[in-house]
Amino acid sequence: MKHYQSDVAVIGAGLAGIVTALELLDCGYTVALLDGSPDGALGGQANDAFGGMLLTGTAEQARNRIKDSPELLLADWLRAGEFQADDHWPKAWATLYAEQCTPMIYRWLIAHGIRFFPSVQWVERGLHGNGNSLPRYHIAWGCGRGIASTLADALTQHPKAENLQLLRGHRVESFEQNATGVSGCMGVTDYCLTGTDTNTEQFQFTVSSDNTVVCSSGINGNLEKVRQNWDTCYDPPPFVNAWSAAKALAASPSVFSKKWRQNKSRKALVGTVSQNCAEPWMAEPKPHREVLRRVL
Ligand SMILES: Cc1cc2nc3c(=O)[nH]c(=O)nc-3n(C[C@H](O)[C@H](O)[C@H](O)COP(=O)(O)OP(=O)(O)OC[C@H]3O[C@@H](n4cnc5c(N)ncnc54)[C@H](O)[C@@H]3O)c2cc1C
């Protein structure tokens, strides 16, 4: 069994985990950053994300003569959000985001090397009064993958990088606890190796830490829970993989199925699958990539 020790264990190396680790390194802490992703990539979902951000009061808006402010953003948000009287936390989040997105997100990202397209886009436009009254969608150069790789580089090239233990292929399965609370975590390495018995001690690890931060993306790390909580307004929840999704959709009267009927070659279908992978019903990037690899 492997043992690691750090001031803080950060579980999940998506954007949330990378940003947490960067801030902790800045403050002089030792950090163990763990990620169980089978492909070992840093950045999690951001590698497949579009990479646009809702921001207000930016240099890009000013250059495009868009006069925005936190107050205007909050007013749009409160109107579009249709909050109920007891929606305390959603309102608090909207208020914090509107007030702090420029210093805490925009300036932070600029300071860490992220740049944005000069034009600012409309998103969730308030055509009927409900939505953004101004363009606020800022697209990062390199899009989602650009954000992920720039921040991953900032992490590995951090001046205090010697304080970082980057533990790829380490999937956390439980927390360690003592009398005062959580004292670390434990799990398995290389759990994705097919045909390998990861129950054996050689694959197990523990991390002892004063503090543990979970950045594993909430229920998004568990596809079964995502399906259980799927909003029915998006039609049925995603299928097991893109290939079975494609076959099932071929039976439905969608644009996708038209393409399927018109062009039945496997390669054409793969092209269509790649183009449509950002749709909510296809939002399973890793099995999707695996299927593409096999089909190609
Ligand atoms: C197709 C797509 C398009 C998107 N477009 C946009 C957009 O334009 N703008 C926007 O703001 N957002 C967008 N998003 C959403 C955005 O990408 C995510 O909200 C964000 O990347 C989530 O970051 P995260 O760090 O919280 O979680 P994740 O990126 O999910 O990272 C969680 C990490 O934790 C790891 N992990 C999970 N469980 C364990 C465990 N038990 N042990 C160890 N590691 C574990 C996972 O391997 C993963 O690397 C998009 C998402 C997708 C999928």
Domain ranges in the chain are 2-47+150-216, 56-136, 223-295
d(CA 155, CA 132): 34
Q: Which residues of 156-179 are buried (b: 16+ CB within 10 A; e: fewer)?
A: eebeeeebbbbbbbbbbeebeeee
What is the tens place of the pLDDT at every residue in 24-59? Answer: 999 999 999 999 987 788 999 999 999 999 999 999
Is ligand 1 within 6 A of the CB of residue 92?
no
How far is it, in rounded angstroms, from Cα 3 to Cα 224? 31
Answer yes or no: is pLDDT of 3 > 70: yes
* Tokens at 66, concatenated: 């868009």
> Do 146 and 45 contact (CB within 8 A), yes or no?
no
Whether the CB-CB separation of 205 and 186 falls below 8 Å is answered with yes
Q: Is the pLDDT of residue 130 over 60?
A: yes
Regarding the beta carbon of 171 and ligand 1, being less than 6 Å apart is answered: yes
% of the chain with per-residue pLDDT over 90: 61
Q: Give percent of the chain with pLDDT exceeding 70.
A: 76
CATH architecture of 2-47+150-216: 3-Layer(bba) Sandwich (3.50)
Please report which residue ranges of the chain form alpha helices under DSSP H: 15-26, 59-63, 70-81, 88-100, 108-111, 143-156, 223-228, 242-250, 255-262, 266-275, 285-295
Looking at the predicted structure, is the pLDDT value of residue 203 above 80? yes
Q: Which residue's C-alpha comes closest to atom 33 of ligand 1? A: 12
Distance 150 CA to ligand 1 centre (A): 16
Closest-lying ligand 1 atom to the alpha carbon of residue 41: 49
251 vs 292: which has the higher pLDDT: 251
**pLDDT single digits (tens) 134-151:** 999 999 999 999 999 999
Write out pLDDT tens, residues 174-192: 999 999 999 999 999 875 5
Higher pLDDT: 11 or 199? It is 11
Separation in Å, CA 260 to CA 152, 171, 247:
38, 38, 9
Q: Is 294's pLDDT higher than 90?
A: no
SS3 category, 137:
strand
Report the candidate in 188, 239, 233, 67 with the shortest Cα–Cα distance to residue 136: 67
How far apart (Å, rounded) are the C-alpha atoms in residues 30 and 164? 6
The answer on pLDDT for 23 being more than 90 is yes
Q: Is the CB of 93 under 6 A from ligand 1?
A: no
